[in-house]
Amino acid sequence: MQLKYISIICPIYNEEKYIAKCIDSIVEQDYSKEFLEVLLVDGGSSDNTREIIAKSISDKPFIRLLDNPHRTAPYALNIGIREAKGEVIMRIDAHSAYPLSYVSTLVKYLFELNADNVGGAWNILPANDTARAVSIAAGSSHPFGVGNATYKTGAKNIMEVDTVPFGCYRRDVFERIGYFDEELTRNQDNEFNARLKNAGGKIYLIPEVAISYTARDTWRKMYRMYYQYALFSPLVNKKLGKPDSIKRIIPALFFCGLLMGAALSFISKIFLWPLLAAIGGYLLAGVSIGFTTAKRWKKPALVFCLPVTFFLMHFAYALGYIAGKYKVISGAKFSATINR
């Protein structure tokens, strides 16, 4: 197959811990640099991100640094797309490192499958060796934590899916359905891919492409991230004109059910036992997964840390979803926040 010119777009903001490794993994790609450009779109980083980039790309003319005065990811992506020269647009994330054949493999399958978008699976790594960081990575890749997100929990075969992390798109996709929705600080990929599917587009997960994604390093950062994902979910549904999916409602229903059960138990003890059973079952599941994960990682503290991670993840999603639903119903504005 004749080589296609590829434009890689990477939104960045305060990525000093990860950006050098990300750039190195792109520089080492087995794809010819004559057919590659990398656009790093910075939202005004206040740490050493820009200095690190300047050193990394001084002798690499195919990598450019662009400014994003609006700061958030969808603006960065659209700035990059408008600047891009490639036949293929590939979105990447600075929190990740990419295998040697990442670009060549995705581009190959994009055209072999006659797809509109293809993407790889996540290998979610802990930010450091602490039990807390390991629990965040483990929780973010376990079905109990994230449901049936196949690109996170694992897949063996190429399959057609609703969305993939990041994405490798044909250029004409953006001419057909438009750009990323700049109101969506989070979930802009999900909304865009849903629009693409609605327009008859094909999206495939390529599990042989394993992206090394680094999870958040603290519970606070993880909590904010999941809260924001859930916050924007009702807005995405409103824009797409589709009902809320059951899997996105479950955390909110669970915690609302606990609150209702607690209130009703003061009226009658008959409600106390279902409440205790729900709490006990939830804790038992978290501790059981914690034991298995602790054995695999040889970290006994995961028995305690992983249930905390699951609780914070689910509670954040529940609160975020309720807040997002309220904003949609009341017509309140969604603020553009960045979680780093």
Tokens representing 123 are: 């290998």
Take residue 96 and report the two structure tokens written for it: 């990740």
The span from the first CA to the last CA of the chain, in angstroms, equals 40
For the chain, the domains span: 238-330
- pLDDT of 159 reads 92
pTM above 0.85, yes or no: yes
In the numeric block, the tokens 């995405």 are attached to: 236
pLDDT, residue 131, reads 97
Average pLDDT taken over every residue of the chain: 93
Residue 245: the pLDDT is 77
Q: Which residues of the chain have pLDDT under 70?
A: 1, 336-340
CB neighbour burial string for 257-273, b if at least 16 within 10 angstroms, e if fewer = eeeebeeebeeeeebee
- Dihedral angle sign, alpha carbons of residues 241, 245, 251, 255: positive
72 touches 43 (CB < 8 A): yes
The letter for the amino acid at 238 is K
Q: For residues 334 and 46, what is the distance between their CA atoms, to the nearest angstrom?
A: 24
Check residue 340 and give its pLDDT. Answer: 54
For 258-291, the pLDDT digits (tens) are 999 999 988 988 989 999 999 999 999 999 999 9
| Separation between Cα atoms, residue 156 and residue 165, nearest integer Å | 16
Pure H helices in the chain: 19-27, 49-57, 73-83, 102-112, 131-139, 143-146, 150-153, 172-177, 188-198, 219-240, 246-265, 272-297, 302-330
User: Distance from CA of residue 92 to its chain's centroid?
Assistant: 11
Please report, as a single letter, which amino acid is at residue 306. L
Rounded Cα gap, residues 228 and 222, in angstroms: 10
